[in-house]
Structure 1
Amino acid sequence: MNQRRATAVGFLGTLAILCGILYLVGIEDLLRELSHADTSLVVLVGAVTLGWLVAWALGLRTVLAVLGVRLSVIRSFLVLNGAMFSNNITPFGQAGGEPVAALLISKVAKTKYERGLAAIASVDTINFLPSITLALIGATYFATEITFGQRLRVAIGLVVGLAVVVPALIYFGWRNRDIVEQRLGSVLIPFIHRLTKALPGISPADESGITSRIEGFFHAIERIATNPRGIALTLTASTFGWIFQMIALWIAFWAIGASVPFSVMLFVVPMGALASITPLPGGTGGIETVLVTILASLPGVAIGLETALAAVVIFRGAVYWIPILIGGCVVSWVGVDAFGTATS
């Protein structure tokens, strides 16, 4: 019930933010821009979006292979979309959808839940790293071409800070993984024990069983982290996925007749993705706000708010709704135990 309430509040927040954007930009101006869109190029945005999903599915497939779980490319693609579906309908983006995504992986791949959780957590972490690198490349390029305003300096400062802090946290957590495992166990074991006791029809969780699952999760993480080839392949797939997203937004501008340098996409798309950590379903509302604000603030790039929003609507319409549609079907399919039979 609490999860449903949080999701409902998140969607209401998303609706309020999107209405606010439309009020500031003007719905008539937005519709005018969209009416000029080239339909064939809009379809191409969708096709490129599928390229992004295939690339990240290959990354997920690689990580699962490191853990000894073999999935076909098609199954990996469907599982990834199922994971994206759960991310897009729960607050806090990946953080909110990972438990559901892990359950989906464990059911489709017939593996332990903690192994599926380790796989999706590792993929999400690896997917984050190329975005920061690409954003720094884009920011560095622009620093040689234009003078940044206050907003953009703050955004670049955030990217630089993340480029330092995130790898440092990963390194620190890896070096102290035994301590992290113990601390996590001391928090999770009492919580899960109380939760299962409070839920009707569920036997209280066994402490040794919980400990075993936590150990299994960290063992799976260790297998992934100590496989350089697997990490390199996943990073490559992730980078191609980000590039496909950037191409999709670039084509969205092209579709409405606006000319924007591709280098802008290197910076803007990762910055928008950072907004997925907001307590909104899939970051929707926050992502659009960040994208439009940065695009309209770029000196030397002559686009208005209505043009920026029109391109973002086309872009987000693809990257948000395509995984929703495919992933929703996958989640429903798995729910009736038909997936395994149909794809075997």
Structure 2
Amino acid sequence: MKGDIRLAAKKRPERGAGADDAETSVEPDDGTELKSVGPLRGDVDSPRTRSRARPAVRAVAGLALAFLVLAVFVSLTGGWAVLRALTRADPGVTVAAALAGVLAISLWGESLRRALQRAHPVGGLRYRLAYLSGDFARQVLPMGRLSGSAIIGYAVSRPFDVQYEEALAAVTVTDLLNLLSAVTVSAFGLSLLFESATGDVLTFIVGLAGAVVVVGAAAYLATRRRDLLERVVVAVVAVGHRLAARFGATTLERHLHPHSVERRVESYFRTLDAVADDRRRVASVACFAALGWVSFAAALAGAGAALDVSVPVAAALFVAPASGLVGWSPLPGGSGGVEVAVTTGLVATAGVPVSAAAAVALLYRVCSYWSVVCVDAVATGLLATLYAE
């Protein structure tokens, strides 16, 4: 073809309907117009839109898998007998058990607030909504139980003048005390059950021992081998910094700069020390964490009462926290693992038949997980509506 060929855009229509239909065409020097080679703007979502969509897709996929696992669980523990038992649940008692589950999460939120108060004054409706919104993400995302500390720390730091590292340090202290409280409450229930347990509770004892080891190791690293932790963090972040620089991710490169990371690590440990050194505050945080586990135990006993299944208070105190420790699952909320742990615990400690124990476990999860997720979702919407920036 003779002459130069140049790309020329047709006149762009006014913004509004048809604004996205502007096309490019190829015009030779002779003035004729060749076939359009495509629109200037495609229907491609921005990176920000895609990044927001990914957690939602993960949550939906995780919840779908959770329902599938629960269906398998029901089929293996009695099938229709379990479902028929659930239909006979007392509505009033079920609501009371659900309120106990929501109260447990609220008590844990208060536990974190008291830890944060050492560095920054936080509280009020905005804090409650922020905490519940973080708990919502933690509950519905796969592996949310592993990344829960980071999620909660981010959620409660955003609305207030709190550095993320400071919030994360407070969450770390709260989580360790929460774990220690779970072991304490569960061990207390087990001590009351030793003579009346009718099954094998070895699995739960091993789980409690494992939790004690985790708490001890975390406390040792945070207090005695802090230099080792800092070196590990800096080494890992240095790899991320080099990758970000190589691929041109300037924002990530800036955040992962060694000096920035070292400053944040120092801020994290400074807040950790400030919270841990206040013994009265630590005792207060631990008290609210333990009350949260007691509320979950009340929800379990209430679920049994709603189904006319006898769940002794001692069994509830043992099984509720122990199931949270040993019933690990990568699915949202630990779905599947917690139900199996509760069922096994009730059969072992209270002599409840398997189908009845499975029904109690499912209703307990409705009261302690699904009801909490609904409240968290409402709080997330209210936070976005009332405090939109």
How far apart in 2 are the matches of 1:270 and 1:102? 23
The corresponding residue for 1:31 is 83
The corresponding residue for 1:58 is 110
Are 2:298 and 1:268 equivalent residues in the alignment? no
How far apart in 1 are the matches of 2:295 and 2:194? 24
Task: Choose which of 216, 222, 237 in structure 1 pairs with 2:288.
Answer: 237
Task: Choose which of 309, 312, 322 in structure 1 pairs with 2:358.
Answer: 309
* 3-state DSSP of counterpart to 1:303: coil
Counterpart residue identity of residue 316, structure 1: R
Checking the alignment, whether the CA contact within 8 Å between 2:324 and 2:338 is kept in structure 1 is yes
Are 2:183 and 1:132 equivalent residues in the alignment? yes
The corresponding residue for 1:327 is 376
Counterpart residue identity of residue 148, structure 2: G
Quick check: which has more Rg, 1 or 2? 2
The corresponding residue for 1:228 is 279
How far apart in 2 are the matches of 1:203 and 1:238? 35
Alignment CA distance shift 1:89-1:210 (3 Å): same
Are 2:142 and 1:91 equivalent residues in the alignment? yes
Checking the alignment, whether the CA contact within 8 Å between 1:127 and 1:238 is kept in structure 2 is yes
* 3-state DSSP of counterpart to 1:204: helix
Are 2:219 and 1:170 equivalent residues in the alignment? yes
Are 2:194 and 1:194 equivalent residues in the alignment? no
Aligned length: 335
Deviation, structure 1 residue 335: 5.1
How far apart in 2 are the matches of 1:307 and 1:6? 33
Are 2:101 and 1:49 equivalent residues in the alignment? yes
How far apart in 1 are the matches of 2:376 and 2:152? 10
Give the stretch that moved more between structures: 177-186 or 325-334. Answer: 325-334
* 3-state DSSP of counterpart to 2:145: helix
Alignment CA distance shift 1:140-1:318 (3 Å): same
Aligned-residue CA RMSD (Å): 2.6
Give the stretch that moved more between structures: 132-141 or 181-190. Answer: 181-190
Checking the alignment, whether the CA contact within 8 Å between 2:199 and 2:348 is kept in structure 1 is no
Give the stretch that moved more between structures: 41-50 or 194-203. Answer: 194-203
Deviations 1:196-232 (A, max 9, x none): 7647573622332222122211221121111111110
Q: Return 5+ residue gaps in structure 1 as ranges.
A: none
Which one scores higher on RCO, CA 8 angstroms, separation ≥ 6?
A: 1
The corresponding residue for 1:297 is 348
How far apart in 2 are the matches of 1:313 and 1:25? 11
Kindly, what percent of the aligned residue pairs are identical? Answer: 24
How far apart in 2 are the matches of 1:257 and 1:165? 37
The corresponding residue for 2:204 is 155
Runs of at least 4 residues of structure 1 off by over 6 A?
1-6
Checking the alignment, whether the CA contact within 8 Å between 1:92 and 1:277 is kept in structure 2 is no
Q: Return 5+ residue gaps in structure 2 as ranges.
A: 1-50
The corresponding residue for 2:387 is 339
Checking the alignment, whether the CA contact within 8 Å between 2:101 and 2:368 is kept in structure 1 is yes
Counterpart residue identity of residue 17, structure 1: V
How far apart in 2 are the matches of 1:219 and 1:187? 21
Alignment CA distance shift 1:294-1:16 (3 Å): same
Task: Choose which of 160, 167, 179 in structure 2 pairs with 1:116.
Answer: 167
Deviation, structure 1 residue 269: 0.8
Alignment CA distance shift 1:192-1:200 (3 Å): closer
Specify which structure has the higher proportion of helix. Answer: 1
How far apart in 2 are the matches of 1:62 and 1:111? 14
Counterpart residue identity of residue 270, structure 1: P
* 3-state DSSP of counterpart to 1:144: coil
Checking the alignment, whether the CA contact within 8 Å between 1:53 and 1:80 is kept in structure 2 is no
Give the stretch that moved more between structures: 283-292 or 27-36. Answer: 27-36
Are 2:72 and 1:20 equivalent residues in the alignment? yes
Alignment CA distance shift 1:111-1:276 (3 Å): farther
Deviation, structure 1 residue 61: 1.1
The corresponding residue for 2:23 is none
Checking the alignment, whether the CA contact within 8 Å between 1:52 and 1:240 is kept in structure 2 is yes
Deviations 1:123-162 (A, max 9, x none): 222111111111112222222334543xx22321331343
